[in-house]
Amino acid sequence: MAMADITIMGAGIFGLSIAWCCQSHGARVQVIDPGGPAAGASGGIVGALAPHVPENWNDKKAFQFESLMMAEAFWADVCKVSGLHSGYGRTGRLQPLADDTAVDLARQRATESLTLWQGHAVWEVVEADAHGWAPVTPTGLLIRDTLSARIHPRRACLALAEGIKMRGGTVTHSGQPEGQIIWATGVADLEVLNSNHTRVVGNGVKGQGALLQFDAPDLPQLFADGVHIVPHSDGTIAIGSTSERDYASPDTTDHQLDDVIERALQAVPILHGASVVERWAGVRPRTRSRAPMLGVHPLHKDAFIANGGFKIGFGMAPKVGQVMADLVLDKKDQIPRDFRPDASY
């Protein structure tokens, strides 16, 4: 390949999505990551692309909504070019309602969604007995939304990496940075920022998840008792995840995952008897502001940063890729104020 216009350090979901979008602008790209695609937090298994609730609208919620609306076309293009399936599907989500107060709040949000979601998706209160697949709900009622989607994180990253290569880019374990550099190295870069600041800029939060063998590829995901239960297209259901600020080992599972699985079984009894086929743990990058960090790198003024995907990185990825490509290649700045590095740094 001729000299790259863009070098992206990091082959997680942010780095790969930005590379893909830069290619769509006509740029020559290379992605460098010693571990390869999806080696870190982006190699997970849960993949719940769940929106923020439709109320108290702000730039972060609007950005995520736009990204979720972009996702179907984004992942369809990746699949077409790469020949690999990301596991994406806009299958919706069901959530139990615990009491009358929760029901009233859900109905208020349903009204808000009519405006905030612009008619593109539904948030509504429905009766649980209308669905054979549902979590236990004390009120007999559920929240149903049609904006939530699912993806298989690891497969999605591998599909992006293959698509980038099919378009003439490179995805390598090592190499010499060329052209404009974008840092998308997750926790590693947050630690560097922390060491050069008087306060914590961001940190890693460990998550643990599991895959159960249970064939329900077209059913909606569930969210109950703080647990995501996500049917995938390959005949598995993902269960997750923990949120651990303190941990001894970043990539091993323990009793905390057992507790998550048990809570899922209690919430969705039909899953009893399903075998666990994979257990996974990884550390996700979380900025101090809890929003993604996008823009000029605080330590390298001639480079850029895309970090802090945390739990919403895959849902944000199509829009993150777009705004970073616009910024770096066209000097078009559409990054929300709360996403700029100085919001955390």
pLDDT of residue 344: 78
The C-alpha atoms of residue 11 and residue 7 are separated, in whole angstroms, by 11
166-183 tens-digit pLDDT: 999 999 999 999 999 999
Q: Domain 6-87+149-199+288-343 is of which CATH architecture?
A: 3-Layer(bba) Sandwich (3.50)
Over residues 32-51, the mean pLDDT reads 96
Q: What is the mean pLDDT of the chain?
A: 96
pLDDT of residue 73: 98
The C-alpha atoms of residue 27 and residue 2 are separated, in whole angstroms, by 11
pLDDT band of 129, cuts 50, 70, 90? confident
**Pairing, β 93-96 against β 170-172:** unpaired
Q: Which 8-state DSSP code applies to residue 127?
A: E
The C-alpha atoms of residue 269 and residue 265 are separated, in whole angstroms, by 5
294-325 tens-digit pLDDT: 999 999 989 999 999 999 999 999 999 999 99
Query: Residue 276: pLDDT above 90?
Result: yes
pLDDT of residue 37: 97
Distances (CA, A) of 324 to 8, 313, 332: 11, 14, 9
Backbone angles phi, psi at 72, to 5 degrees: -60, -50
198-226 tens-digit pLDDT: 999 999 999 999 999 999 999 999 999 99
Q: CB of 109 within 8 A of CB of 121?
A: no
List the domain boundaries for the chain. Answer: 6-87+149-199+288-343
pLDDT band of 130, cuts 50, 70, 90? low
